[in-house]
Amino acid sequence: MNKIDTEELNIMYEDNHILVVVKPQNVPSCPDDSGDDDLLSALKRYLVEKYNKPGDAFLGLVHRLDRPTGGVMVFAKTSKAAARLSESIRSGQLEKKYLAVTCGAMRDKKGVLKNALYKDENTNSVYCVPIATEGAKLAVLEYKTLDVKKEIALVEIKLITGRSHQARVQLATAGTPIFGDAKYAKGKSPSGYNLALWAVELRFPHPTNKETMVFRVYPPVEDVPWKFFDVAGKLSIIR
């Protein structure tokens, strides 16, 4: 992957403590084994360039998005902000909402999915396993079906836990894999499309003044399969 141009970064908000940005799809959140340029490194270069910082710039990674997932992320510009954002995640005060397009629709329009997930680090794959499995972690999400078009559905997802590949694996296990998921859809999705999973909203208390910060960003609404839905209209009803 080519080096990310810092002038093309989509920065939604910045102050002395936090940096909120839209992560492009198919870009790693942070350095990984691929060696491709990643968002964290690009943002550090942005800070060095903008503020004429000597050497490296501090930027705390407090949460991640899977490489194929796009959407809103928050980074910490100080160690104090990183600690407080991490505590907000642990306490459930940092809320993450996603939109997904699934292959098929859930039988119940809304509900909660609970699964024990195990990650195979060697293959970077996650599996649903019995809860007593060594190394398994409980994964919980809430979902709500917003619209159905033939064989696909627009779904709002609220992650209660933040497990690796969580939404992708839980929805696939429920029989409604995410459109474009080459890893977990197992032939149920057309190939050649980006993963239709988008981090649409972040809500959290500011790490210093405690003001409730809310950031929302649209998925690529002109692309398949998003273009088959009135995403803007459905976003207005998300609470």
Run of H or E residues at 212: strand 212-216
CB atoms within 10 A of CB 163: 20
Of 196, 108, 184, the residue nearest 145 (C-alpha): 108
Q: What are the Cα distances from residue 210, in Å, to 62, 93, 160, 186?
A: 17, 11, 21, 44
Identity of residue 94: L
Distances (CA, A) of 85 to 23, 61, 97, 211: 18, 10, 17, 13
- Positions annotated as catalytic residues are 66
Q: Phi and psi dihedrals of 216, rounded to 5?
A: -135, 135
Residue 85: other Cβ atoms inside 10 A = 24
Which residue, 86, 184, 164, 74, is CA-closest to 118? Answer: 164
Does residue 18 contact residue 211 with C-beta atoms inside 8 Å?
Answer: no
